[in-house]
Chain A
């Protein structure tokens, strides 16, 4: 959500016309952003690439008829990517429910030592353990660097609700990573 000029307007227009230079420039600019968003939401590089690819399939269909409006094209892409991520998260849960009786979650994780040695992996695991909406808030506001109004609009919540989600998420992350904070 932005109002005003959409910085992607000229590129999207070129993409809509099938201009090869615009397509190349657009993909170079947006692919890392979409792949990062999907990876942070899903925690899986292969799935993130699939989501990014699917986002661009939608872009090819949407760009020829797109006209600048209140929402930026980049915001629309974020919405598409998030929807695709939530589809996959839902499927994961369905599968997890199917196999739940066979899982044993008690006791130390076999990879705990390895994860302690790798701060990045620890942080990724802590992010993945957050409730989906809290993780979405962190991904949009912190990693994707969207403004609070734009992030709140994307999540279809008020700015106050976004701040509440962010606070709870960061509190959870702080607790999960407490042993790393002093290092």
Chain B
């Protein structure tokens, strides 16, 4: 008997071989694999994380950083979850503040950064920001990269055309409260016939609801979203703004929002510090036509992110070295000077480079001064595991009223009902 090697078996074997060889390099290893000089880094898109990475690699030419911009903050968190659930994890991941509480519930999925000496540096960061990255058992799972702060970006040329003042102090004086903001919007719409603000749900509700003393949870961690009068008030302000007809109805970062920004199809956007960079990228031709005023209703924060190291990271040391170096106060300051994201390290808030920082795109507005004022007077509130979900359900109810003709009278009840269904309490 003779064993025949038949062509199809050769072919099959070849296919299998190709499969295995084409896929195996790096496939089994998480992140940088065995190479201690390399690490994998997942970030959100649209915030130009590449710039920081490039700077780091320039200083450490022997280090290789594999940066992946996964998508929106929600998508990044989802990708991280599926990764934690099985398979490859990055060595370093950027998590948006609203998504963090969910991960904080399961601290065993991450390195407790105290292993690397996070205790020694945690005093550098704002207390309340640090507290939001600390689990119940005291594990520190994230180091904050930035906070949002609140402010309003507006088009000076469009304001002038509408007969409104254009100077940032005068504009700030137009709207000490949200109702004044709505009234200003109505003046603008009456004068120009064009919408005033990009959209109400993010530019009004997400700002107002972050200017509270307690948000969706009380200080003991019990959910109070349904009964908290401060949240209800923020929601009602948003409903009044929608009713006033001042909105261009472009959801933030939607295709329409991006297309409308350079066209001047709206004149005002509530812009935390991390949003400034996208203005310069989307609408470079409108440089100098923008300016920044203070937010109605007082101090507050929207957004800000944290860097964390998954427990199964292949190269946690390299990731920590990156965190330690790039998030040091001095580096946060220089990142701010580059792209405008506000540092989380109060030590630099008095630094003349920050205080005197101006942004030519926004008519030389003193962005350092404006945004630090917004976060320094801040009353921190407790965040719970479902803070992100609760926030997006409230947001969705308002988008429904604004863009899909939902009934404003029942919007609050529907939002609360949806939250109950979603989080089960």
A and B associate: no
Interface residues of B (CB under 8 A from A): none
